[in-house]
Structure 1
Amino acid sequence: MGIVGIRTAILVVAGLAWCGSVLAGGWEERVFNVEHFGARGDGLTDSTEAFVHAWTAACGARGASASLLVPAAKSFLVGPTKFRGPCAATRITVQVMGTITALPASAWDRQNYWLMFHQVDGLTVTGSGGVLDGRGETWWSNRCRNGDSLVLMNCTNLELSHFSSKNSPQMHIAVIQSSKVNVTQLTITAPGDSPNTDGVHIDRSEDVHITGLTIGTGDDCISIGPGSRFVNIDGIICGPGHGVSVGSLGRHGAMESVEHIDVRNVHFINTMNGARIKTWQGGRGYAKSISFTNINFTNVENPVIIDQFYVDRGVVPNAGAVALSNITYTNLKGTSSRKTAVDFDCSDSGSCRDISVSSVLITASDGRGTEARCRNAQGKTSGYVYPRIPCLS
């Protein structure tokens, strides 16, 4: 075989592992199909190794962009996997067109995550019709130490869109120590009694935008953890679940901070909580500049709640708490399943200040009246506010 023939053979072999598509600019995006690396979409064969090899090839591909493709109409069985960066391409996309199904709990090796993307800049995870199936039912009954389904750690310029996540062992999506994050148009589901199955958890991250999600789980629809700032949540349907929660903050006396959180246009349906802020006694630090705007409640157990009385063992009651300030509630309406529709339960240390409540109408689901309960909260109301909040001027 001549030199030209050898080169042709090499290109043919390489072409088996990837395919390209010519874009408008004239350059070619490399698309790496997991099946070309040995993945079997039969829902029975462990394809973990094939996914790792496909990711290694896609992440190492040079150019403006590269993609890892999970084909439609197939189910791929994958165990706990870390997809490591940084990658060579400016933008790397994971196209989840089919279903990725987790191995059952018995096959995990004490990992606290299922799929993790670590230190990947310019990552998009998307896919019309794509599903992440965490098979959490294999964990929940035994109360195992569950793992989170999809973890994004130390990533920047991150986008998650147009796929579904169901039955996570624990949290469905955890965004950790990441920035410039856009999460949009996702459907996240788990039974209402499934433990710790938060929809989206934000931890030590900033510049996060969450829009257009439909979430029904056994825990918080969205939880915002310590070290998070500039988080915008807009257009969410939540239920069942425990609401949108800022916290919990300050456990084991930790010094923690959260600031500039904007939650708007959320509809809570048959949830345990609605707009919630929760901290631990003995904690330190602050949570400030938090707003809830245009919120609807349908048969919610605790529509508006601040709870500063989570207690660790050995902590002296009223030992101080994370300081809350500049908390704003505007245009809240709907129904409560309990008589107490607004509950501001703050520490004796004067840690709840500058609470502003405007335009609120929350009635009882059974047609009766509602009330507000408050302790140690300071602030003001404006416009029509029902139920009346006695501790605010």
Structure 2
Amino acid sequence: MGKYKQDCVETKVYSESHQNQPVSDDSKEGKGKRLWKKVKYQLVEYHSLPGYLKDNEYIIGHYRSEWPMKQILMSVFSIHNETLNVWTHLIGFFLFLSLTIYTAMKVPTVVDFPSLQHLPDVLKNADLHKLHADLMTCLPSLPNMSDLHRLREELKTSLPSTDLLPSLSSWHIVELLTNCLPKRFSHSNSTDVCVLMSMKEDVANIIAPLLMRPITRWPFFAFLGGAIFCMLASSTCHLLSCHSQRVSYIMLRVDYAGIAALISTSFYPPVYYSFMCYPFFCNMYMGFITLLGIATVLVSLIPVFEKPEYRAVRASLFFGMGLSGVAPILHKLILFWHQPEALHTTGYEVLMGAFYGIGALVYAMRVPERWMPGKFDIAGHSHQLFHVLVVAGAYTHYRAGLVYLKWRDLEGC
């Protein structure tokens, strides 16, 4: 029994002395770093955030706070309360980048006429002298053409050489093909019908490629550029703002500039293509919306506007920019009430405004998260809905732009 007690005492002493042996510095440092990284890069709750990151008190958790840049960039593939904010507009960025490339490659052929590359063959096969004689006989049947005599004189001297063709208006050629020639069909024998049908095809193939030249595209590409910049700026802002107060300040300024750029450039296609034949109104409306966009960006640079209590002011400022487009749209309807394209594009623009307006309202009201705080931290909160509605509105406007291009390509001024 005495021997057993002695063995137990010796074992306890050995164990205590072994536990108290000093651990190497390298081992301590390695364990400390691993533990600090594990704690430091954990998602935190709203009450743990620094003041500059506190924006929406109804989103309770899953925040990144002052992470190093490497971890922030990698977090684009992890789950937190900004993941969908990043990806909704990152997908929008790639969408509009693809639409820009598609527009540059395909949209100039939106009017379905023979390509210029086939023009030499058409000219070689066309009997321009016979075409000249038939047109001269046909011209008197054209109604209400104020410059009929001038057109006849130009046709006498210019048609065989095709020098006149680029200068003819689209109204002239449409009348020639749809009003004049069908009248000849109804008063001719079968042989003449064949000849005239061949002549009509020659006229279309010769004149259409020269006449229906695509109008300038820069207002449309300005809008696409504004959309691309807005989507990329917003996505970058939501990804990087948690790094530091300085980075957050810069990213918010860039984000506001992107929103202002999207709203401003959204008015370029409707204003330019609606009033391209009215330079005074075109310059007035485009100048006004451009200055308003610049003013909005400058006001957004003032630090006081980044505070959460000014959320409604920020939303109202951008909402007001959108409302400024009502005047040119109403003016367009007054000028072109008889044009189906005017009504078609206005329908798209009303839908676009609805998307933007509802998005701004959801953002300002912070719904649905204000009804159930903490339930929409990861998915479904107001900012994510706002992003989806912005992408939907911008795409709707893209569709309206295609209608404008086709309309003006066909009719010009």
- What is the TM-score normalised by the length of structure 2? 0.18
Bigger-Rg structure (1/2): 2
Tell me which of the two structures has the higher relative contact order, counting C-alpha pairs closer than 8 angstroms and 6 or more residues apart. 2
More strand by share: 1
- What is the TM-score normalised by the length of structure 1? 0.19
